[in-house]
Amino acid sequence: MKTAKTIEEIRQIVTEYKHDLKTIGLVTTMGNLHKGHLALVREAQKNAEKVIVTIFVNPMQFDRPEDLKTYPRTLEQDLALLEEAGVDAVFTPTPEIMYPRGLQNQTYVEVPDLANSLEGALRPGHFNGVATVVSKFFNIIQPDLACFGEKDYQQLALIREMVQDMNFQLRIIGVPIVRHENGLAYSSRNNRLSPEELEKAPEFHACLVKLGEKLRALPDFRNIQKTVDESVNELDGSGFSTDDITVVDADTLSPDITESRRVVILAAAYLGKVRLIDNLVITR
Ligand code: PAF
């Protein structure tokens, strides 16, 4: 497995792959890798001849400085996992390499509506940071395809929209959420839960499943707020602090779901200090 720290080094690797007419699949990560990331790698390997993974804790997408400071950095362990998974090359730049003029002076990419709605309204600036760093990786690596997890549902929708709007020439592949047997979605944030919180955490997904069943039983999606509020109360009553549960159209992410056949429950809740997110798509 090749490793590159600078833009020149990764571009050299990309040039070799392109010279050999190899297709390139990209998986962008912030490290602290788990089974969810490895599923992205496997999907990229199925669809491309060479797979490049980026590991970069992107300061531009953190709305809380404390989160950036405490974000787990486990580079040695991550590289070992990627080597074992058969990844071809890993790009591990520093913030100085990605943002040489500093964050304040960095040109940024903003996807209208999606960047500032839903999760974006709760985390100002977060999605501009994501869109900017992902578009920089697309420009640096010029992949044929890139894989993103459905766990970050709005992020995936935003990236698809950005690719279309900016005419990036690549295919975006969405990869289903990988869950523990108890339903908890794999996430780097789970590592920050205490043993007691880790035992409680699967109730978050269970609550979404229950809400999904209740919504499916309704004659239509016209008056769902009372049902959603019940789930918020249940979650809060069992030790979580719900940040948001919203049901939107699964394709457009519009809150107008009266005619929708496919909706998605987007949920965020704190368990102690850790903010968990999850989602569930429901089809009629
Ligand atoms: O989903 C993530 O881990 C990050 O938002 C991403 C896409 C790697 C951009 O930093």
The 10s digit of each residue's pLDDT in 64-76 is 999 999 899 999 9
Do 133 and 28 share a domain, yes or no?
yes
Mark whether 37 is an active-site residue: yes
Rounded CA-CA distance 62/71 in Å is 10
| Domain that includes residue 250, residue range | 188-283
CATH of residue 130 = 3.40.50.620
The last residue of one of the domains, among 175, 205, 229, is 175
CB of residue 277 inside a 6 A radius of ligand 1: no
Nearest in space to 220 (alpha carbons), one of 259, 252, 164: 259
| DSSP annotation of 117 | S
| DSSP annotation of 101 | T
The 10s digit of each residue's pLDDT in 13-29 is 999 999 999 999 999 99
The 10s digit of each residue's pLDDT in 102-112 is 999 999 999 99
Closest ligand 1 atom to 28 CA:
8
The last residue of one of the domains, among 153, 175, 197, is 175
Q: Which amino acid is at 218?
A: L
CB of residue 128 inside a 6 A radius of ligand 1: no
CATH of residue 199 = 3.30.1300.10
Closest ligand 1 atom to 149 CA:
1
The protein residue whose alpha carbon is closest to atom 8 in ligand 1 is 29
Rounded CA-CA distance 187/206 in Å is 16
29 part of a folded domain? yes
Q: What is the mean pLDDT of the chain?
A: 97
271 part of a folded domain? yes
pLDDT of residue 284: 83
CB of residue 134 inside a 6 A radius of ligand 1: yes
| DSSP annotation of 221 | S
Do 77 and 164 share a domain, yes or no?
yes
Closest ligand 1 atom to 54 CA:
8
Return the best residue to mutate from 32, 111, 128, 133 for the ligand 1 pocket (most ligand atoms within 8 A of CB): 133
The last residue of one of the domains, among 148, 175, 202, is 175
Do 45 and 81 share a domain, yes or no?
yes
How far does CA 3 lie from the centroid of its chain?
23
